[in-house]
Structure 1
Amino acid sequence: MTLRRFLHSPEALAGAAIVSALAVMALVAPLLFPADPLSIAGRPLTPPFQDWSLPLGTDRLGRDVLAGLFHGARTSLAVGLAAASAAIVAGSLVGTAAGFASGLTDDVLMRITDAFQTVPGFLLALAFVSVAGPSLATVVGAIALGAWTGPARIARAEILSIRERDFVAGARIVGMHPVEIALREVLPNALPPVLALSSVIVAGAILIEASLSFLGLGDPNRVTWGGMIAEGRAVLRSAPFLSIIPGIALVLSVLGVYLVSEGVVEASATRRSLS
C-alpha cells in the first residue's frame, strides 16, 4: 500500500526519475567515457552543440564537459551515499548507547551531540577538510561528522520508548547481555525513523561536497560538479555554459532526492493515519 501511494504521487515519481537518471549516469560514466575526464579532449572553450563529438563543449583547458558531468554524478552519488551511511551508523550507535544506558552516559553523549549541533555542518566540514587535506575519504568523513547528530537524537528517542517493552524485559530475564539486547533487540526496531533521514543527509552531502569543491577543497583527482562550476566562474561572461550546466545538474539532483524523501514520508504518514 505504501508503494502504491508513492507511485500515485507526481512529485515522488518526478524525484524518482531524477534520482534514477543520476544513478544511471554514475553507472554508465566509465562505459561512455572510459578516458580520464580530466584529460584534454578538444579545442578549449568549444560551445555546446558546435562539435557533435563534444556535445556540451569543452572548458578552458579543452576538457569534455559532458564527460565531466557524468563522472561528476559518480562523485556526488558516492559522497552522498557514503556520508549518509556513515552518519546513520554513527548516529544510531550513539543514540542507542544514550537511550539504553541512560543516566550519566546519556547526559554525556547528549551534551556531545549538542556541542556538534551548535556548529553548522558546512563550517565543520570546511574546518575538517582544511586541516586533514582534500580527498574523497576526508570529504565523506567531514560531512558525516556534521550529520550524525540528527540520527542520534531520533535513535535515542525511539530507544527510550522501546526499552520498556515486554520483549526487552523478556530478553533481560533470559540473561542476554545488555549490549546484545541493545544491538540485537532494540536497535533494529528503532531504525525505520532513523533511515527516513537518509535522503535528507544525501541531499545535504551533495550540496556540501559541491561547496567544498567550489572552494578548491574537493578531491583534486576527481571531477566534481562544484569544481566545474568554479572552473567556469573565470569565464562566466564569455562561456556561461561552463557553470550553468553543472549547476543545473546539481540543483536537479538535490531536488530529486528531496522529492523522493517527501514522497516516502507522505506515503508512510498516509499509511499510519489509515491504520
Structure 2
Amino acid sequence: MSRLRRLLSTPEGMIGLAILIVLLLAGLSAPIISPGDPLRIAGRALLPPFTDPGFPLGTDRLGRDVLAGLIYGARTSLAVGLAAAFSAMILGVCVGMAAGFAGGIVDEALMRVVDAFQIMPGFLLALAFVSTIGVSTPVVVLAIALGAWADPARLTRAQVLAIREQDYVASARVIGMHPVEIAFREILPNALPPVLALSATIVAGAILTEAALSFLGLGNPNIATWGSMIAEGRSVLRSAAYLSVLPGAALAVTVLGVHLFSEGLGKVLGNDGGRAA
C-alpha cells in the first residue's frame, strides 16, 4: 500500500488533506472566480453577506469584495507558509546534518547558534526583522523562516547522531565511501522522515505568523491577506462582524487542516520508521 493510501486511511490525514486541497483549488482558481484586483472597490460599502448575488459574502468598509479577499488571501497564506517552511527546512536540515555528522567543535558551535535562535520567540524575531528590513513578501518569508529553522536543525542532528552509528554506515566507511556521499546517500534519507513530519507544523506556524504580521500592518499592503482583513474589520466589529469572522474562520480552518494533515503524515512516517527498524 502506498504512503498516500495509508495517509488517506487515517481520519486525520484524510480530513486534513481534503481541507488543504479545497484551499489550494480555491487559491489557484482565484483569477477565474474573481478576476481583477481583489483590493479594488467593487460595490457599495458594508454590503451584508447573501444579500447580493454579485457579492455572496458582502463587501467591506471600502466596497471591496470579501469573497475575493478570502480566496486571494488563501493564495497568500499557503504561498507564504509553504515558502517559509521550505526555507526553514532547508536551512535546518543543512545545519543539523553538519552538526551531527561533523561532531566535535563544529557540533558545539552550530548548536549554540541553534540555542540562540530557539531562545527568542519566533514571532518576536519575525516582527523585529520585518520592522528593521522593511515590508515585502520575500522579507516576510525570510523572517518567518529565521524563527522556525532551529527545531528542524535540532531534530535532524538527533537523527544523524543515532543513524551514523548504524552498521550500514560503518560498512560504507570501510569500503571507502566519501564522507559527503555517506552523509547524503546513507544518512540523510533515513533522517528525513521525522523532520518531514515536522514541516507541516512549521507551515501552520508560518501561516499564523504571516496573519499576525499583516494584522499589525507589517504584511505586504499590495496583496490580500487574512490578517489585514481581520484588522480592517475591527473598527466595525459590532455592526459588521463578518468582516473579521470570515477571514478568522478561514485562518482557523487552514491551520486545523495543516494540523490534521501533520498528524496523519506523522503516523504514516512513524509506521515506515518502525518497519525499517
**Same fold, TM exceeding 0.5?**
yes
2:55 alignment partner in structure 1: 54
Identity of aligned residues (%): 64
Aligned to 1:234, the other structure's residue is in SS state helix
**2:47·2:60 contact (CA, 8 Å) conserved in 1?**
yes
Q: Shift of the alpha carbon at 1:193?
A: 1.2
1:182 alignment partner in structure 2: 183
Q: Shift of the alpha carbon at 1:189?
A: 2.4
Aligned to 1:246, the other structure's residue is in SS state helix
Q: Which amino acid letter does the alignment assign opposite residue 42 of structure 1? A: G
1:222 alignment partner in structure 2: 223
Partners of 2:37 and 2:150 lie apart in 1 by 37
Partners of 2:55 and 2:14 lie apart in 1 by 31
Q: Which amino acid letter does the alignment assign opposite residue 214 of structure 2? A: S
1:261 alignment partner in structure 2: 262
2:8 alignment partner in structure 1: 7
Aligned to 2:147, the other structure's residue is in SS state helix
Partners of 2:35 and 2:191 lie apart in 1 by 43
Q: Which amino acid letter does the alignment assign opposite residue 15 of structure 1? A: G
Q: Shift of the alpha carbon at 1:168?
A: 3.2
Q: Shift of the alpha carbon at 1:118?
A: 0.5
Matched residues, number: 275
Partners of 1:264 and 1:183 lie apart in 2 by 23
Q: Which amino acid letter does the alignment assign opposite residue 67 of structure 2? A: L
Q: Which amino acid letter does the alignment assign opposite residue 54 of structure 2? A: S
Aligned to 1:147, the other structure's residue is in SS state coil
**Equivalences for 1:111-260 in 2 at 5 Å?**
111-260=112-261
1:90 alignment partner in structure 2: 91
Partners of 2:271 and 2:198 lie apart in 1 by 18
* Stretch deviating more after TM superposition (2-11 or 219-228): 2-11
Partners of 1:208 and 1:201 lie apart in 2 by 10
Structure 2's unaligned 5+ residue stretches are: none
Question: Residues 226 and 109 from structure 1, CA distance in 2 versus in 1: closer, same or farther, beyond 3 angstroms?
Answer: same
1:38 alignment partner in structure 2: 39
Question: Residues 229 and 154 from structure 1, CA distance in 2 versus in 1: closer, same or farther, beyond 3 angstroms?
Answer: same
Partners of 1:79 and 1:142 lie apart in 2 by 11
Q: Which amino acid letter does the alignment assign opposite residue 126 of structure 1? A: L
Partners of 1:270 and 1:157 lie apart in 2 by 19
2:64 alignment partner in structure 1: 63
Q: Deviations over 1:139-174 (max 9, x none)?
A: 110111011111101111111122233443444445
**2:7·2:14 contact (CA, 8 Å) conserved in 1?**
yes
Q: Which amino acid letter does the alignment assign opposite residue 72 of structure 2? A: H
Partners of 2:206 and 2:94 lie apart in 1 by 20
Partners of 2:120 and 2:137 lie apart in 1 by 22
Q: TM-score, normalised by structure 1?
A: 0.94
Question: Residues 78 and 87 from structure 1, CA distance in 2 versus in 1: closer, same or farther, beyond 3 angstroms?
Answer: same
Partners of 1:159 and 1:30 lie apart in 2 by 45
Q: Which amino acid letter does the alignment assign opposite residue 73 of structure 2? A: G
Q: TM-score, normalised by structure 2?
A: 0.93
Q: Shift of the alpha carbon at 1:83?
A: 0.6
